[in-house]
Chain A
Amino acid sequence: MSTPMKTTVATTWLDGCSGCHMSFLDMDERLVDLAQRVDIVYSPLVDTKTLPDQVDVGILEGSISSDEDLEKAKAFRKHCKLLISLGDCAVNGNVPAIRNHFKLDDVMDRAYRENVSLQPQIPTRSVPTLLETVRPIHAEVKVDVFVPGCPPHADAIWYVLSELIAGRTPDPSKVTRFGA
């Protein structure tokens, strides 16, 4: 059943709790419907390990907190025709950005020394380097559609995707808001 008309969608999570992806899954039986119309070509929810060159819709959850987040965001921007900021962390920094009120060194100390009883040490290998300031996605790359909410309700995600697939420009503020 080849369907060249299907909209290709890529998703990933940056600095977030993956709750927005859970909300995505909360579309329940509508996912079946969605699967007729979209191809998820890259996502933590599927097995593909590489982002294809050309994707119709990119969905980013989470804020940009590390160099790896930044690279992923840039890659999504480069390869996706349309980029969606999904959820408050992506849209406004939300909970991850609360650490902006502290010095990065203090944050690291708190996480890896003060609260650790066994061999406290700050990791240096195979973990991404944190950026000084946590930023929303659009502070680093251009974003086309913003879907605030913590997490955005499955209905809101369904509405936005349906509108996009139908070729219309969704107005998410009708269905969701900061903190929703």
Chain B
Amino acid sequence: MPLPVTPPNIRVVTLKIDDQDLSAREDETIIEVCRENAIPIPSLCYLDGLSVWGGCRLCMVEIAGQGRLAAACSTRVTEGMEVRTSTERLQRYRRTIVEMLFAERNHVCSVCVSNGHCELQTMGQSCGVDHVRVPYRQTPYPVDSSHEMFRLDHNRCILCTRCVRVCDEIEGAHTWDVMGRGSDCRVITDLALPWGESETCTSCGKCVQVCPTGALVKQGTSAGEMVKDQHFLPILARRRHAR
């Protein structure tokens, strides 16, 4: 769900992120300010140009004076805010979350078409995930190859819903949605029809490009061949917004 529309008179606030003095518009979120200033904040569901989801919880940061951690993607900056993005505790939490993602489904990097170009894989490395402490869930999911151009492998899906959001918000088709609950959630096309039978899908491929893993890929790609391009998204999003 998008954050509510901001009032027209926006002020600029100053804040500290990791001891760096920064200024930002008060309608910006912490993650936006961090990205502008090249402060790395991990996230697998946030994507510039799409609405805020707040699901992966990797962008949790510490804010001075607040007992609870805050998600950088869904927390607006305020005057005098002091943010810490990478404390020992946050790193520990992030590592655990990424480990649990790897354990949830069948992410076999070595034979994945996205090997080497996968955000989950990169996240695992940057979070220091050299092994997964929790047991693997070992639940198989189907692969939907019914679409002539694209393929959906639920086993590699991390349920970030980027596909759902880009299809709804940018393409305007709303082919994708989510069904089920808990770890058995699945992204679905139309009302859980095979993708190839979807009447709403425009085959634009935006979902494939924004998918962080090898869950949504082009047909005909082999291990390591699926390289994604997300440059179009902020440009399109801004054009849509300006209209």
Contact = CB atoms under 8 A, between A and B. Distances in A.
Touch between A and B in complex, CB under 8 Å? yes
Interface of A: 85, 88, 91-95, 97-98, 100-102, 133, 136, 138-139, 143, 146-148, 150, 171-173, 177-179
A101 B131 contact: no
A146 B109 contact: no
Nearest to A145: B130
Given A136-B131, A138-B133, A173-B129, 11 more contacts: A88-B108, A92-B131, A101-B106, A138-B131, A148-B131, A173-B125, A177-B109, A177-B125, A178-B107, A178-B109, A179-B116
Given A146-B131, A172-B130, A133 B138 contact: yes
Given A94-B110, A179-B112, A179-B115, A173 B135 contact: no
- Which 3 A-B pairs rank lowest in CB-CB distance, beginning with the nearest? A179-B109, A150-B110, A101-B140
Given A92-B131, A138-B131, A148-B131, A98 B116 contact: no
Contacts of A95: 108, 110-111
A37 to B, nearest CB: 24
Contacts, number: 68
Contact size range, B: 20 to 34
Secondary structure at chain B's binding surface: helix, strand, loop or mixed?
Answer: loop
Contacts of A148: 130-131
A172 B131 CA distance: 11
Contacts of B129: 173, 178
Nearest to B140: A101
**Residue among B118, B125, B140 facing the most chain A CB atoms (10 A cut-off):** B125
Given A177-B124, A177-B125, A98 B106 contact: yes
A173 B128 contact: yes
Nearest to B134: A139
